[in-house]
């Protein structure tokens, strides 16, 4: 309570005006909270094969177009195109194809695509078989389309699209990830600096300024950062005597009133919290070093939420890249767009930008920042509000980093990675971490294991002691290389020394990184217990050669079956005394070739976990398997999301994280 009172006192001092805006802001937050609990329904029933709407934006992917469609509600439509001239922004179109409900895997503390689209009020995607243009009348969309099509003819069109239309779809993934890792991805977002340059064109002419700002907002797709800047500048034009912080908070309230789901947008949060920090410390900011330092401190907790790590050189990187973008790249982008003979000069500058970006990435030093404890987060910003003793932020960060090490519980996570297997085992104090399988890539645009890595880092985990690959199928080992490249792995265990193509490729990477690998052991240490390997005779079928692991934590028994089928189950029963298994990870995603009635009756699982993708093409799990498990409580990752089992000497707790 004392901390809350001090924070409120500081807030009143910051705002420097009466209580009206504070009360209004509190009501806005309550409104956002209530709105987030409302279960909004789509205007479509999911059976439609034809929809009509206006194309409001086009994003270019590797082999298809992503069309943003304004219909009864927003729709994302996917179109495999032969020529980009097939469609235009502003076209009124009738699409024929298949409507698909948006789904997503769900791992705690990571990006959830379904939730992301829900906050944008998008509930369905549409796979286009045929597209028919019926009209194209909107003058503003025509203008946006003219700019869009002109950009596509230029060299470095990826950066023209980014800086002029706020469309990052053509940016190279490696380049963009370098911007993220270097802590400078915000320079790619259209912000106050861009608006300032535009406003120089009309100087003190208010009507022209407002028209230009609104047009720019439309062209850039009403993104949070542009929305914030445009509304703030319009308010500033008519309220020059009001404090910047007053107008910033009023801007935030207006945006949340228009779209309460923006409160969950990290870009929105980042934009407001960094701008607030700059305004709050304006009297202390004497140069670009001060500006970079303040921005870094205010944005650190938000930046950490993206990947749960911070590049210690990001302050220096901002000193290099912010002036470069502000005074060279962006102005030249606008000028060379208008005067195409300067396009070659812009290309040279972008090549230099990419080179510096890559160079800084090689010099990066990362520190893992676990998910912030709420109390520590409040203390962190309380120290920033005090404007002195910023060194006190260091112990706050250290406590947040060390806090997971004090956790005395065991954890078993059955991670929701789609149609595949992945389980994370974490011992007390994060001493031993074991990953059983990795899943496989389910989407061409991203690696599902990126979320696995982010999840581990959110828990304060920086290394995997044992990566166990139960067998060489893609849906179990397909993401191993990505994991090995992005987080420290000490040991990798294979099911045998007869390697599949996937396993052979993994071994090539292990050798280059000098990572120890072997075939299955008798057991490995896990906290004060061991994870056992239940051995078997060699089968011709790779599924039957799956590693099967047994774990006993405080008399709670776990059995992980890989993709073992009925023959292997019989051998297991004959060879080992397995009964009253509390948690059984069902073999082969619930296929009818596994989990026989005989096996289930012998092991008597209290809880059965099926790792399976939603609406998968194999129709897993089978009805036979579900019937065989009738006496067991079933958890399915496609319905229940990630399943967490927390164990200590006194109790066991199960938590699931549905999408």
State pLDDT tens for residues 241-292.
888 898 999 999 999 999 999 999 988 999 899 999 999 999 889 988 999 9
In the numeric block, the tokens 């007053």 are attached to 246
CA-to-CA dists, residue 518 to 111, 466, 495, 550, angstroms: 33, 11, 9, 19
pLDDT tens digit sequence for 303-346: 999 889 999 999 999 999 999 998 899 999 999 999 999 999 99
In the numeric block, the tokens 């992503």 are attached to 66
The neighbouring-strand residues paired with 446 are: 443
Confidence of residue 469 (pLDDT cuts 50, 70, 90): very high
| Mean confidence (pLDDT) of the chain | 90
Confidence of residue 202 (pLDDT cuts 50, 70, 90): low
Q: 652 in helix, strand or coil?
A: strand
- Among 558, 495, 498, smallest CA distance to 526 is for 558
Please name the residues in contact with 339: beta carbons below 8 A apart, sequence gap of 6 or more.
Answer: none
End-to-end CA distance of the chain: 34
d(CA 609, CA 644): 11
Q: What CATH fold (topology level) applies to the domain 50-137?
A: OB fold (Dihydrolipoamide Acetyltransferase, E2P) (2.40.50)
The neighbouring-strand residues paired with 53 are: 93
Classify each residue of 417-434 as buried b or exposed e, where b means 16 or more C-beta atoms within 10 Å of its C-beta. Answer: bbbbbbbbbbbbebebbb
Give the pLDDT confidence score for residue 2 in this predicted structure: 52
Q: Which helix (H) or strand (E) holds 199?
A: helix 192-199
d(CA 285, CA 282): 5
Please name the residues in contact with 446: beta carbons below 8 A apart, sequence gap of 6 or more.
Answer: none
* Residue ranges with strand state E in 281-422: 309-311, 366-368, 410-414
Give the pLDDT confidence score for residue 14 in this predicted structure: 46
- Among 254, 48, 218, 34, smallest CA distance to 144 is for 218
Q: Which helix (H) or strand (E) holds 457?
A: helix 449-458
448 pLDDT exceeds 50? yes
The pTM score is 0.90
For the domain 407-656, what is the CATH superfamily, name and number?
Answer: Ribonuclease Z/Hydroxyacylglutathione hydrolase-like (3.60.15.10)
Give the pLDDT confidence score for residue 135 in this predicted structure: 74
pLDDT tens digit sequence for 380-408: 999 998 877 888 999 999 999 999 999 99
Q: Higher confidence at residue 434 or residue 307?
A: 434
Highest mean pLDDT among 93-107, 323-337, 342-356: 342-356
Residue 567: other Cβ atoms inside 10 A: 15
Give the pLDDT confidence score for residue 10 in this predicted structure: 53
CB 306 within 8 A of CB 109: no
HEC string of 530-580 equals: EEEECCCCCCCCCHHHCCCEEEEECCEEEEECCCCCHHHHHHHHHHCCCCC
> Which of 23-37, 190-204, 310-324, 572-586 shows the lowest mean pLDDT across its residues?
190-204
In the numeric block, the tokens 């000098």 are attached to 514
Q: What is the mean pLDDT of residues 138-162?
A: 93
CA-to-CA dists, residue 129 to 55, 57, 62, 94, 133, angstroms: 16, 19, 18, 11, 14
CA-to-CA dists, residue 171 to 26, 277, 325, 327, angstroms: 39, 30, 16, 21
Q: What is the mean pLDDT of residues 359-387?
A: 93
d(CA 409, CA 652): 10
- Which tokens go with 476? 């179990």
CB 217 within 8 A of CB 230: yes
Confidence of residue 634 (pLDDT cuts 50, 70, 90): very high
Query: Residue ranges of the domains in the chain?
Result: 1-35, 50-137, 146-368, 374-404, 407-656
Q: Where are the alpha helices (DSSP H) in 20-172?
A: 20-36, 113-119, 139-151, 157-160
Give the pLDDT confidence score for residue 225 in this predicted structure: 79
85 pLDDT exceeds 80? no
């Amino acid at each position: 309570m004392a901390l809350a009172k001090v924070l409120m006192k500081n807030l009143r001092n910051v705002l420097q005006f009466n209580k009206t805006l504070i009360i209004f802001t509190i009501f806005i937050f309550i409104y956002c909270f209530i709105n987030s609990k409302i279960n909004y329904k789509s205007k479509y029933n999911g059976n439609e094969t034809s929809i009509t709407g206006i194309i409001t934006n086009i994003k270019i992917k590797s082999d298809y177009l992503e069309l943003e469609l304004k219909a009864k509600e927003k729709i994302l439509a996917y179109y495999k195109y032969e020529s980009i001239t097939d469609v235009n922004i502003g076209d009124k179109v009738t699409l024929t194809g298949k409507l698909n409900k948006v789904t997503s895997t769900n791992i705690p503390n990571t990006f959830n695509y379904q939730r992301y689209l829900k906050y944008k009020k998008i509930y369905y995607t549409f796979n286009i078989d045929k597209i028919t243009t019926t009209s194209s009348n909107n003058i503003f969309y025509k203008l946006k389309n003219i700019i869009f099509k002109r950009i596509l003819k230029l060299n470095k069109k990826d950066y023209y699209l980014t800086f002029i239309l706020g469309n990052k779809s053509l940016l190279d993934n490696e380049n963009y990830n370098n911007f993220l890792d270097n802590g400078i991805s915000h320079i790619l977002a259209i912000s106050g600096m861009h608006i300032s340059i535009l406003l120089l064109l009309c100087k003190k002419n208010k009507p022209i300024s407002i028209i230009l700002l609104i047009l720019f907002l439309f062209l850039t797709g009403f993104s949070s950062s542009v929305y914030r800047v445009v509304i703030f500048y319009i308010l500033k034009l008519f309220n020059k005597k009001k404090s910047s912080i007053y107008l910033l908070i009023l801007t935030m309230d207006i945006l949340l009133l228009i779209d309460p789901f923006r409160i969950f947008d990290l870009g929105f949060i980042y934009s407001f919290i960094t701008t607030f920090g700059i305004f709050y410390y304006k009297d202390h900011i004497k140069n670009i070093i001060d500006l970079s330092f303040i921005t870094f401190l205010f944005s650190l907790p938000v930046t950490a939420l993206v990947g749960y790590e911070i590049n210690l050189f990001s302050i220096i990187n901002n000193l290099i890249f912010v002036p470069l973008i502000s005074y060279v790249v962006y102005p030249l982008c606008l000028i060379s767009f208008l005067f195409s003979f300067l396009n070659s000069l812009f290309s040279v500058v972008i090549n230099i930008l990419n080179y510096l970006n890559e160079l800084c990435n090689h010099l990066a030093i990362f520190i893992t920042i676990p998910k912030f404890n709420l109390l520590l987060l409040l203390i962190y910003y309380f120290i920033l509000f005090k404007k002195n003793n910023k060194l006190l932020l260091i112990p706050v960060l250290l406590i947040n980093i060390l806090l997971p090490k004090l956790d005395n519980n065991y954890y078993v996570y059955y991670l929701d990675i789609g149609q595949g297997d992945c389980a994370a085992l974490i011992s007390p104090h994060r001493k031993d971490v074991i990953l059983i399988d990795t899943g496989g890539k389910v989407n061409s645009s991203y690696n599902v294991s990126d979320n696995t890595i982010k999840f581990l880092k959110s828990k304060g985990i920086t290394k995997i002691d044992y990566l166990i690959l139960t067998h060489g199928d893609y849906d179990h080992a397909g993401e191993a290389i990505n994991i090995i490249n992005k987080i420290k792995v000490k040991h990798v265990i294979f099911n045998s020394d007869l390697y599949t193509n996937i396993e052979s490729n993994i071994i090539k990477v292990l050798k280059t990184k000098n990572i120890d690998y072997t075939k299955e052991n008798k057991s490995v240490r896990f906290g004060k217990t061991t994870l056992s390997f239940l051995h078997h005779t060699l089968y011709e079928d790779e599924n039957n050669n799956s590693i099967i692991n047994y774990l006993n934590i405080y008399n709670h028994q776990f059995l992980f079956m890989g993709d073992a089928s009925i023959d292997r189950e019989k051998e297991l029963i004959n060879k080992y005394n397995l009964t009253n298994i509390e948690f059984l990870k069902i073999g082969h995603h619930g296929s009818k070739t596994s989990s026989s009635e005989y096996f289930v009756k012998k092991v008597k699982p209290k809880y059965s976990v099926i790792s399976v993708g939603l609406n998968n093409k194999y129709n897993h799990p089978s009805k036979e398997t579900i019937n065989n498990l009738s006496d067991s409580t079933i958890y399915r990752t496609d319905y229940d999301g990630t399943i967490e089992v927390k164990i200590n000497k006194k109790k066991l707790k199960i938590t699931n994280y549905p999408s």
